[in-house]
Amino acid sequence: MTTETYSRLLAAVDFEPNGEPVIDRAQRLRALFGARLTLLHVLEHVPPAPDYMPLGFGGDLPTPDDLGLEQELVDIACRQLDVLGERLGVAPVDRLVRVGPTSHTIDEVADEIAADLVIIGSHGRHGFLGLFGSTAKAVLRSVKCDVLCVKLQDATPT
Ligand code: AMP
């Protein structure tokens, strides 16, 4: 009998308060398999403000990008990921912040680093038919490697 092991883990981190089990599971599996762990946080592109109307001429209306908003959000996420990385002892090279559509970017990075296991949270807050959260469901559909969906407690509605 062969023992299945994983050597390249990718944990999808959203910094939500209830996301700690994803980090905890990733850390345990890393120790168990002596694997390398990469932490990934994805930022969706900042959309233009709702009242943004392209002028069609001149094109000099400032976009969120011009205002550096997206870069500011990336910087904040990098700092948050650094704090987490330091806490877990994950090397800076394995702390990734990317901008793009979340599930697609998780797939892309999994490919890029040749991950053999993606660790992701699953809220189950989308009702019976949507057993996995939307991100987990999309990643499960498309990623080439194994996926561990960690069941998360939904925040109690206020
Ligand atoms: P959700 O689609 O909100 O149910 O999220 C489920 C899981 O997807 C989270 O627990 C994370 O593991 C992952 N995830 C969601 N959003 C992000 C994000 N922006 N960056 C990285 N991982 C994410």
In three-state secondary structure terms, 91 is: coil
Distance between CA atoms of residues 139 and 107, nearest Å: 7
Please say if the pLDDT value at position 147 is more than 90: yes
Pocket test for ligand 1, best of 23, 135, 141, 148 (most atoms within 8 A of CB): 135
Q: Is the CB of 22 under 6 A from ligand 1?
A: yes
Q: In the 8-state DSSP scheme, what is residue 6?
A: -
Q: Is the CB of 102 under 6 A from ligand 1?
A: yes
Distance between CA atoms of residues 136 and 102, nearest Å: 10
Whether the Cβ atoms of residue 136 and residue 21 lie closer than 8 Å to each other: no
Nearest CA to ligand 1 atom 15: 14
Residue-wise pLDDT tens digits, 75-117: 999 999 999 999 999 999 999 999 999 999 999 999 999 999 9
- What per-residue confidence (pLDDT) applies to 2? 46
**Mean pLDDT of all residues in the chain?**
86
Q: What's the pTM value of the predicted model, to 2 decimals?
A: 0.85
Confidence bin at 155 (pLDDT 50/70/90): low
Distance between CA atoms of residues 31 and 27, nearest Å: 6
Average pLDDT for 28-52: 87
- What per-residue confidence (pLDDT) applies to 22? 97
Confidence bin at 54 (pLDDT 50/70/90): low
Phi, psi of 99 (to 5 degrees): -110, 130
How far does the centroid of ligand 1 lie from the alpha carbon of residue 57, in Å?
Answer: 39
Phi, psi of 82 (to 5 degrees): -65, -40
The pair of structure tokens assigned to 98 is 């990317």
Whether the Cβ atoms of residue 99 and residue 42 lie closer than 8 Å to each other: yes
Q: Is the CB of 133 under 6 A from ligand 1?
A: yes
